[in-house]
């Protein structure tokens, strides 16, 4: 094993150009995939922060005793998909409406008594935010005897949720596509490198080297290349990210959300995957060039 390890190191030194090409290719591929992941994660964050605005208003029948409201709240809290429930009394409701329509104060001048009902503002857990789930919950709420009427945001918010899901879906699809493309490109490059060295492989076989003996240093090299390429790709991304994000956050004054880098876990996963790709690329290419 130590022998193979030494041979791998020697081999990398003997083929600096080929190794550099492979590592650069892996680094660029990782850069592409992780740049997109970063973009996607942050875009999702932003959209999620909007989506938090989606809430269901459940208006109560008049004259529900104050004592029952606590129990009702707990009941709704237990419904599937509910994240939290907030009671909004009719007085609070009117104040909010007035704030909202402060451009038309004349509308409220003639009001003798508060025409609004008490209400619950219900936030749903993010994963349940699609039109079907919202409508399901709405139906359950409407079935409650205490509830008079249910309203869920504006129509565009429901549509927006769909589009968000579409965005997510295409994002994942695109991420998948990019990953596959990266794997292809890396495998292609490794194949090309081994093609360049096929004579050498052939000579080793002719002088009696077993396949495992020939392959061992290549595998080690593949792993080193993958890990190194992945690390370099992420490092480049991180530096670019630092430079860009500080500029962006300044010029857009986006105080309400912070651009975040990939988590350590994702970071680790990417390097692990890139290592696997390096190994796999070697495996498949070696198989081809040692076949006959």
Q: Are 270 and 183 in contact (CB under 8 A)?
A: no
Q: Which is nearer to a second copy, 189 or 275 (CB)?
A: 189
Q: Which is nearer to a second copy, 83 or 245 (CB)?
A: 245
**How far apart (Å, rounded) are the C-alpha atoms in residues 131 and 128?**
9
The nearest distance, CB 244 to other proteins, in angstroms, is 41
Q: Are 260 and 32 in contact (CB under 8 A)?
A: no
Long-range contacts from 167-170, C-beta under 8 angstroms, 24+ separation? 167/43, 167/44, 167/47, 168/44
**83 contact, one of other proteins, a second copy, none, CB 5-8 Å limit per kind:** none
Q: Which parts of this chain interact with a second copy (CB under 8 A)?
A: 17-18, 21, 24-25, 28-29, 31-32, 35-36, 39, 43, 46, 50, 53, 59, 103-104, 106-107, 109-112, 115-116, 149, 151, 156, 159-160, 162-163, 165-167, 169-171, 173-174, 177-178, 181, 184-185, 188-189, 191-193, 195-196, 240, 244, 248, 252-254, 256
**10 contact, one of a second copy, other proteins, none, CB 5-8 Å limit per kind:** other proteins
Give me the residues paired with residue 86 across strands. Answer: 121
Q: Which is nearer to a second copy, 16 or 212 (CB)?
A: 16
The nearest distance, CB 245 to a second copy, in angstroms, is 10
Helices (H), 147-210: 155-196, 198-206
Q: Which is nearer to other proteins, 14 or 68 (CB)?
A: 14
Name which position in 73, 133, 191, 205 contacts other proteins (CB under 8 A): 205
Helices (H), the chain: 2-14, 16-51, 66-77, 90-100, 106-109, 131-143, 155-196, 198-206, 211-252, 264-289
Q: What angle do CA 207, 212, 217 make, to 5 degrees?
A: 90
Does 203 bind other proteins (CB under 8 A)? Our answer is yes
Give how many residues touch other proteins by CB under 8 A: 16
Does 46 bind other proteins (CB under 8 A)? Our answer is no
The token pair that represents 275 in the structure block: 């290592």
Chain positions contacting other proteins, by CB under 8 A: 3, 7, 10, 14-15, 200, 203-211, 213
């Amino acid at each position: 094993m130590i022998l193979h390890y030494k041979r791998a190191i020697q081999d990398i030194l003997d083929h600096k150009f080929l190794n550099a090409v492979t590592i650069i290719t892996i680094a660029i591929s990782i850069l592409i995939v992780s740049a997109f992941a970063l973009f996607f994660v942050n875009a999702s964050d932003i959209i999620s922060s909007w989506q938090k605005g989606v809430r269901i208003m459940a208006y109560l029948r008049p004259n529900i005793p104050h004592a029952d409201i606590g129990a009702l709240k707990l009941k709704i809290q237990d419904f599937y998909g509910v994240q939290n429930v907030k009671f909004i009394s009719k007085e609070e409701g009117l104040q909010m409406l007035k704030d909202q329509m402060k451009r038309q104060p004349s509308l409220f001048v003639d009001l003798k008594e508060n025409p609004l009902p008490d209400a619950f503002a219900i936030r749903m857990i993010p994963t349940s935010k699609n039109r079907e789930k919202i409508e399901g919950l709405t139906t359950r709420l409407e079935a409650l005897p205490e509830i008079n009427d249910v309203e869920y945001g504006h129509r565009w918010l429901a549509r927006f949720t769909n589009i968000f899901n579409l965005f997510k879906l295409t994002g994942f699809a695109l991420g998948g596509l990019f990953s596959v493309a990266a794997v292809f490109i890396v495998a292609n490059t490794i194949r090309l490198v081994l093609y360049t060295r096929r004579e050498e492989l052939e000579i080793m076989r002719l002088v009696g080297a077993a396949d495992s003996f020939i392959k061992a240093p290549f595998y080690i090299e593949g792993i080193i290349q993958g890990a190194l390429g992945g690390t370099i790709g992420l490092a480049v991304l991180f530096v670019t990210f630092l430079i860009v994000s500080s500029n962006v956050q300044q010029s857009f004054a986006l105080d309400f959300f912070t651009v975040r880098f990939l988590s350590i876990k994702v970071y680790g996963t990417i390097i692990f995957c890139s290592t696997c790709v390096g190994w796999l690329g070697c495996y498949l290419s070696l198989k081809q060039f040692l076949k006959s």
